[in-house]
Structure 1
Amino acid sequence: MTIRLGGLFLSAAVVFGETMLVPSRAQPAPSATVPASFDCGKATRAVDRFIRANAALRWQDLALSRSYRAVLDKLSGPARAELVAEQRDWVSERDRRCAADRSFAELNDPASSIHDQAYDCMTIVYQGRRQTLGDRAAAPIATRVIGEIDLGPIARARPELVETGRVPVAGMRLSPDGSHVAILLPSRELDGPDQLWLYRVADRKLTAATPRPDTRAQHPADVVAAITGLAWRGDTLFAIASLWGDGSDGESGPTAYYAATATGSRRLRDKPAEAQDRWESVTGGLVYREDEFSDDLDAVQSLRGNDRWLVWTADRGRGTIDLHIRARNPLGAPYLVAWGGWELAQFLFDDARSRLIYPADTGIAQFDLATHAERRIAGTGRGDQPYAVSADHGTFLWATRNDCGDEFLADPEADAPERFCLAAMTGTEAATPWPSGR
C-alpha cells in the first residue's frame, strides 16, 4: 500500500504563535522513544538511575555519547587517553555539581526542589559539554550575518494577521542565489498559505507578490484562496494560486498564475513557460509504502524524503516530538536524530545530498543521513528555527529571539521579539549548493 503525506506546515498552534514548548521536567515523557547510552541493568548509582528514569536526560546523555565517540574515533595514543581522562573528570564534576550525595528517591521526586535543581543543573552541563565535543568532532559551519528581515510592511498591510505584536509566517524560500526571499503567510481558513510576499535582500524591500486575501464570509469568484506552488527565474518569483471560484472549497478551485519582482506584481494570462520545470509545491507531499514505517502513522507529523531516505517527526504526546531517519533501499532501522519539542517539526531536507538542517538544543545543526555526522551552524543558538537555505551561495535564513548571530545557550525570553535573520555560510558549505526550502 502506498500513501501520500504532505508536510510543510506546522500545526495552527505553532503558526499562530500559541505557546508550544519542550516538555517541562514535571511531565513524564514516553520512555521507549529514547534509548539509554549505557547498560540500564548496571545502573546502580543514584545519578545514573536518575538519568535512566528521565527521557530528557537520557537524550542528553545519548547525544553526548555520540559526540564523545565521534571525537574519540579520530584520536589515538596519548591524545586518546587524554580525552578519556578528560571525560571521566567531566562525569565526576557533573555528579558533584548536580547530584552530590542525594538518593535516587530525592532526585527523582518531580514535586521536590531537589529534582528541579538537579534536572536544571544536568541540562546545563550536558549542553555545554555537548557543544564543546561536537565542535571538536566537526568544526562549526562559519557564518557572516547579512541582516534581519523587517516584517513591518506586512504587519501594516495585513493587521488582521498580527498577534502579540508579530506576523505569523507559514514558510520562507530563498532564491537560488540568495538575493530574494519568498515569504508565505498562513491562511485563517485553509490549511496552507494564502498570500506570498517577495523580499529583496540588497535594499530590504518588501513587495506583495499575490493579492491580499478576501476576508468576506462569501468569497467572490476569482479571488485567491491558497498559494500552492512557486518558482524562481532570475529576480522574478512566480506563483500558482488556487481560486475560490463559484462553489469552490478554495483548494480545488480554478488556477491563476502570478509573477513578481521587487518593483511590483501582475497576474498572468497563461501558465508561464519560463517557469517550466522549476515549480515547487509549497504543501510538500511524499509517496511511501506503509511497510516502511514501524511507527504509528497517526503520530507522524512532518515527513520528507527521497528515493534513499525517509525523514520524519513523530508526536509522542505532552509536547514531545522526536526526529527520525530511515534508509529506504535497502530498508534500514529507524535512527533517532533528535528528541525535544514542537520546534523539531521545522527541519529542512536536502534531497539531492541526503542531509537535513534541524533545530538542535545546542543551536541549528546540519546532519548527514549517510554518515550521521553533525555540524553546528555558528551564530545560532538554542530555540532558533531554520527556515531556508539558498541553492548556490550558501545563504541561510533562520528565526531567533536573540540578536542575529548570537549563539549563547541560555533559553531565550518567551516575550522577546522574533527576528528573521540572513547569513552567508562562509566556510566550506558556501561552495556546496543546497536546494532551497526542501
Structure 2
Amino acid sequence: MQTNLSDAARTLSRADEAEQILRSCVHCGFCNATCPTYQLLGNELDGPRGRIYLIKQMLEGEAVTQKTQLHLDRCLTCRNCETTCPSGVNYHALLDIGRAELERRVPRPAAERMLREGLRRAIPHPAVFDALLKAGRALRPILPAALGRKIPRRGASPKARPAPRHPRTMLMLEGCVQPALSPNTNAAAARVLDRLGISIVDAERAGCCGATDYHLNAQEAGLVRARRNIDAWWPAIEAGAEAIVQTASGCGAFVKEYGHLLRGDPRYASKAQRVSELARDLVEVLAGEPLDRLQANSPVTLPTSLPATLPESLPGQAQRRIAFHCPCTLQHAQKLGGAVESILQRLGFDLTAVPDAHLCCGSAGTYSITQPELAERLRNNRLDALESGKPALIVTANIGCQTYLDSAGRTPVRHWIELLDASFP
C-alpha cells in the first residue's frame, strides 16, 4: 500500500522499517480469516488488516484516541496472520512500532497504568512472583470463588537435576514464572538432555528474557534485560556452549529476536545476533538427537508421577491418549508447528486430532490479565477443541498456555517434556 509518513513519524528510530512493512501489505484480507479476535468480534479494526490501517493513519499524522489503543491492545500478537499472509508482512514488528508510538501519544487511564506497572514489577522477578503466588494460594480459602479460581494450582515438585558431566554443554533460560508455576519443567528437560549426553550449565546472572516489559510497551526496559542476558551467557558461549535451550516457547520467540532488536546497538549487535542464532526451543534440540536412547522396554503409558492425569473411569487404552496444544509462539513465531507432535508420535504416544489447532488459547503473555473476557472465550474454545478427542492429558510447550488452560479446571495440562522424562526413566 502507498504511504506518506508524517515528518514527526520519520524521526522515529524504526520509521524506515515501519514504512517497508506497510508497503509490503496488499490489504488482501487473508489475515482476517485466521485472526482469533476478528473471528470473535467480527470488527475489521480487530483484525490485522484493520490494525495495519490504524497504525498507518497514526504514522501519517492522523489523530489517535483511546479507541485506537483498544483495538491494538486487543491483538494477541499470536502471529497467526503472518503464517497466513501471502505477502510475508512482518506484522508483529509493525505492531510493536505502532504500540510504542501510541503509548507516547495517548495517556492510559490510571487503573490501566497501575495494572501494567504491577505486572512489570511482579512477572519478571521470580522471587517476587513466587512470594505473591504463595500468598495467593494461602489466602485462596477466604477469597471470592471467582478470584480463587484465577490462582494457578501447584505443579509437580521438581526432581533433582543432574550435575554437569558431559563434554557437550548447553545453557538454559530458567524463566520468570515457570520456576514457581511448573518447577519440574526445566529439571525434566535437564534430565532428558543428560540421558542424551548433554549437560546444562548455569548462568546465574541471566534473568527474564525481556518479553514482558517489551510487550507491555516498556520496550527499552525489555532491551535492557536482553543485554543483561547476553552478558550473562557470553562466557559460556565463548567456552563452547552449543545452544541456549528454551523450554517456554514464548521466551524462545523473543530471544530469537535479540539480533534484530539490537541490530543498531554497536556494543551488542554482533553478540545479540550470535545469541539469537544459538537460541533453540527444546524440541529443536531433541529433534536432532538419537531419541531411541529414551525408549523404554514396555509400552508407553502416561506416568502416574504427574498427579491427576489418569482418570480412573477411562479404559487402559484411553489413558494413553493425549492432546497437544501447539502455542502460537511455537507454530507461528518460531515456525515449529508439528515438531513436538512428531517427537511424541515417534516415541509411541497416542495423539488425538485437534480441530483448529492454529488458534490461540488466550494466554498470550499478559493478555489473559489485561483482556480477561476475550481471553476466557478463546480458552473455552481451545479446550473444547483439545478435549474433542477425549484425551487423558493435554500437553503444551509454553508455561503461559499451560497455566492458563489448566486454570479452567478441566483436563489437566502439563509441559510435554515432563511426559517424556517420567515415561523413559
Q: Which has the larger radius of gyration?
A: 1
TM-score, scaled to structure 2: 0.27
Name the structure where strand makes up a greater proportion of residues.
1
Asked which structure has the greater RCO (Cα within 8 Å, sep 6+), the reply is: 1
TM-score, scaled to structure 1: 0.26
